[in-house]
């Protein structure tokens, strides 16, 4: 038994073997699949807002002086 490693996309539930390996396999193979981890989902509302800011019409940012006025 020999081992090859390659990356491919799943199309309609099928994995296509690259052409350079197609003639090297017989009728019996062992397949091990590793799935790439997806990005972490936002854990809380602040993470969600940072990723998806709310757009407000006619929004004007505060100046530094306006922020620190007491």
At residue 8, the pLDDT reads 86
Asked if residues 18 and 6 have their Cβ atoms less than 8 Å apart, the reply is yes
The whole-number pLDDT of residue 42 equals: 54
Non-local (6+) Cβ contacts of 2 within 8 A are 24
Tens-place pLDDT, residues 15-67: 888 888 888 887 788 888 888 777 666 578 888 888 888 899 999 999 999 99
**Other beta carbons within 10 Å of 17:** 14
Report field, pTM of the whole predicted structure over 0.85 = no
pLDDT of residue 51: 85
Domain range list for the chain: 1-70
């Amino acid at each position: 038994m020999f081992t090859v490693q390659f990356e491919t996309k799943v199309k309609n539930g099928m994995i296509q073997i690259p052409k350079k390996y197609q003639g090297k396999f017989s009728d019996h193979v062992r397949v091990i699949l590793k799935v790439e981890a997806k990005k972490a989902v936002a854990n809380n509302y602040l993470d969600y807002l940072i990723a998806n800011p709310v757009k407000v019409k006619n929004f004007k940012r505060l100046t530094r002086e306006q922020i620190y006025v007491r």
